[in-house]
Amino acid sequence: MTTENNINKAFEIAKERYAALGVDVNAALENMKKISLSMHCWQADDVSGFENQGGDLTGGIQVTGNYPGRARTIDELRADVSKAASLIAGSHRLSLHEIYGDFQGKNVDRNEVEPVHFQSWMEWAKENGMKLDFNSTSFSHPKSGDLTLSNPDDSIRNFWIEHTKRCRKISEEMGKFQNDPCMMNLWIHDGSKEVPANRLKYRAILEKSLDEIFATEYKNMKDCIEAKLFGIGLESYTVGSYDFYLGYGAKKNKIVTLDTGHFHLTESVADKVSSLLLFTPEIMLHVSRPIRWDSDHVVILNDDVMDLAREIIRSNALDRVHIGLDYFDATINRIGAYVVGCRATQKAFLLALLEPAAKLQEYEANGQYFERLALQEELKSLPWHAVWDMYCAQNDVPVGESYMKEVQQYEKDVTSKRN
């Protein structure tokens, strides 16, 4: 019996099992087409970018590991992203930080960046069937320090305001070029190692900076504001906390970004989804895996990711939630890290789509809480993996662990030859 026959046979059995619970497996596979992940370019090169090769990473973030073969040029990074995308089912996006511009060897400071520096990215993405998202970059710069948009120093603050304004303009041009809104994420590291004498002071400055930045309205980009719990060296106070951005987003109708690595480890990010959907227009996700601190490990199919996906599907909110990834692991093969994380995220959403929502809600409405809990437990052992295999096969990407060989071959042929 061929592998293809095994996949088909297992899939038909799975369809019957799920149909008995009122789940249409084919409908779930069709809905998977709506899920487009925004892959993060910085996994390929350890958040180095192309404006300052060899510069130190600052801003309270850190990449660990020195696995050989990181992308060193824009062509190498594009090749790595293309290879990873070829092993991930579906059509996806690429999220760029501003430091990844095509600067052609020229010294372009961040308050001088223009859409032309990303024109080749727009064309490359179109040629490769991808859409682009964007991020302003406040870290790893001589003027980064501990405070950027919340800095009392007018010259430094205005520098970063101008930078962010230009990033919004770039995002607008990206969205216009690809005829699809570009998600523009704003995250700053601003904070302090010890508790400041006046917390309100810096948050008031940040609010004023954001108001100035967002004064210009655009039609082809969407603004997202991202909070963080703390940064290395900035442990006691974060200006752009979750409470700050939740309040600002609800008041100013902005999209709040939920990075799963930017909260306390015992805090449920999934639980925030339903509240944000009520009071903000949309949600941007940065799916990551924190371990003890915001370590940005490669995403795996764990309870946190599955709970997050379930909450989105149960809320019928796929059209209001944008799914991006955000991690940077330099301890393992970087292309492999892309593929593992993306496929794990997709698995979580497939599992959520295969949930017999109607039956569970019926039990709940009838007060049948034993039955609700029992069915939730039984779902864990249903043959969802057979549906996943079919999803991969339908999208012409490797089924199961077979993608490992392609990653290994790419390392042998390409990345291992980089000094």
Q: Which residues contact 240 (CB under 8 A, 6 or more apart)?
A: 150, 187, 188, 190, 206, 225, 226, 227, 228
Is 226 part of the annotated catalytic residue set?
A: yes
Interior angle at CA 204, CA 199 and CA 210, nearest 5:
130
160 is catalytic: no
Catalytic, 187? Answer: yes
Summarised one tens digit per residue, pLDDT across range 325-380 is: 999 999 999 999 999 999 999 999 999 999 999 999 999 999 999 999 999 999 99
CA distance 324 to 35: 11
Q: Return the H-helix or E-strand segment holding 260.
A: none
The predicted-structure confidence for 263-285, as pLDDT tens digits, reads as follows 998 899 999 999 999 999 999 99
Least confident of 51-55, 99-103, 209-213, 239-243: 51-55
Residue of 296, 355, 389, 411 marked catalytic:
296
Q: What is the arithmetic mean of pLDDT over 36-59?
A: 85
Answer whether 335's CB lies under 8 Å from 407's CB: yes
Mean pLDDT of 239-245: 96
> pLDDT at position 127, please?
97
The yes-or-no verdict on residue 57 having pLDDT over 80 is: no
Q: What is the pLDDT of residue 288?
A: 96
CATH of domain 35-81+90-355: 3.20.20.150
Q: What type of residue is 343?
A: R
Among the listed residues 228, 272, 297, 322, the single catalytic one is 228
Q: Is 146 a catalytic residue?
A: no
Asked if pLDDT for residue 214 goes beyond 50, the answer is yes
- List 255's β-bridge partners, or say none: 224
Domain boundaries, the chain: 35-81+90-355
What is the predicted pLDDT for the residue at 54? 47
Instruction: Identify whether the C-beta of residue 273 lies closer than 8 Å to the C-beta of residue 307.
Output: no
Range in 238-247, 276-285, 288-297, 383-392 with the lowest mean pLDDT: 288-297
Cβ neighbour number for residue 191 with a 10 Å cutoff: 25
Strand partners of residue 375: none
- Residue 52, pLDDT score: 65
Contact assessment for residue 284 and residue 257, using Cβ atoms and an 8 Å cutoff = yes
- Of the residues 262, 272, 297, 347, only one is catalytic, namely 262
The answer to whether 110 and 141 have CB atoms below 8 angstroms apart is yes
The confidence band for 1, taking pLDDT boundaries of 50, 70 and 90, is very low
Q: Phi/psi of residue 255, each to 5°?
A: -80, 130
What residue has token string 């069915």? 375
Of 259, 304, 329, 355, catalytic: 259
Per the annotation, the verdict on 259 as an active-site residue is yes
- Per the annotation, the verdict on 297 as an active-site residue is no
Nearest CA to 363 among 376, 353, 350? 376
Is a pLDDT exceeding 90 seen at residue 169?
yes
Distances (CA, A) of 122 to 69, 113, 281, 340: 25, 15, 27, 26
131 is catalytic: no
Q: Which of 155, 158, 156, 136 is nearest to 146 (CA)?
A: 156
Report the mean per-residue pLDDT for the chain: 95
56 falls in which pLDDT band (50, 70, 90)? Answer: confident
Catalytic residue among 294, 304, 389, 411: 294
Of 226, 311, 355, 389, which residue is the catalytic one? 226
Q: Let me know if 262 is a catalytic residue.
A: yes
What number is the average pLDDT over the span 220-233? 94
Predicted local distance difference test score (pLDDT) of residue 294: 78
Over residues 52-72, mean pLDDT: 81
